[in-house]
Chain A
Amino acid sequence: QKEVEQNSGPLSVPEGAIASLNCTYSDRGSQSFFWYRQYSGKSPELIMSIYSNGDKEDGRFTAQLNKASQYVSLLIRDSQPSDSATYLCAVNDDYKLSFGAGTTVTVRA
């Protein structure tokens, strides 16, 4: 499987702040990139997909992709306690997905 690296956590941010999560991938030919949120004991939930260089915004989430640098990031604005979870970066590997190990985010009130 392709290598996907995420910045090690845990990441602790105060409520209302911006949480920034980073992910790098090994295969320059990768075309599809995803962020999943996983609450403790639950399954991954797709929150963002991005396919083109640049930014993609969805509510309080912004995904950023730089294919030249093989880098994808997720910003969570106005962080809420309900955002406390592990965030998984995934990259397509043909049809299947290769995942990073995840970054755990804790939003403190």
Chain B
Amino acid sequence: DTGVSQDPRHKITKRGQNVTFRCDPISEHNRLYWYRQTLGQGPEFLTYFQNEAQLEKSRLLSDRFSAERPKGSFSTLEIQRTEQGDSAMYLCASQLAGDYEQYFGPGTRLTVT
């Protein structure tokens, strides 16, 4: 059973550019979560999916952020017109419906210059 995978692991972009991250959950895990973590803080919830349905979005998620999970398998998180404040670790976690534990992928570290 492979774990959660994320791609890319690191991304450096210039302010104003768009970036897209991918997350592949543990197979058969139908819930998928995106979190963001900045230095010295715990992860903050951004959004989550059950199968292909996006069920909740944080108020932290501005309209520059969009997430999809088109076939209920992998998910993408896109940030448009990046800002320096978007620099963070973007974490994906998956969960089997009916369980409580969430398992994190290795994360994508975004640096906006």
Contact = CB atoms under 8 A, between A and B. Distances in A.
Interface string A27-49: 00000101010000011111001
Nearest to B59: A1
Contacts of B42: 4, 88, 90, 99-102
Contact of A44 (B40, B43, B45, B48): B43
A43 B104 contact: yes
A91 B91 CA distance: 17
B102 A97 contact: yes
Contacts, number: 59
**Chain B at the A interface: mostly helix, strand, loop or mixed?**
strand
A72 to B, nearest CB: 14
Given A96-B33, A97-B43, A43 B107 contact: yes
Interface in B33-91: 33, 35, 40-45, 48, 55-56, 58, 89, 91
Given A42-B106, A95-B48, A97-B45, A34 B101 contact: yes
A46 B91 contact: no
B101 A96 contact: no
Contacts of A95: 31, 48, 55-56, 95
B106 A32 contact: no
Contact of B91 (A44, A51, A92, A98): A44
B97 to A, nearest CB: 9
Contacts of A90: 42
Counting contact residues on chain A (CB < 8 A from B), the size range is 20 to 34
B50 to A, nearest CB: 8
A98 B33 CA distance: 12
B100 A1 contact: no
A93 B100 CA distance: 11
15 contacts: A1-B58, A34-B102, A36-B104, A42-B106, A42-B107, A45-B104, A46-B101, A46-B102, A46-B104, A49-B100, A92-B100, A95-B48, A95-B95, A96-B56, A97-B35
Q: Which 7 A-B pairs have the closest CB atoms?
A: A99-B42, A96-B45, A43-B107, A43-B104, A32-B100, A44-B104, A43-B106
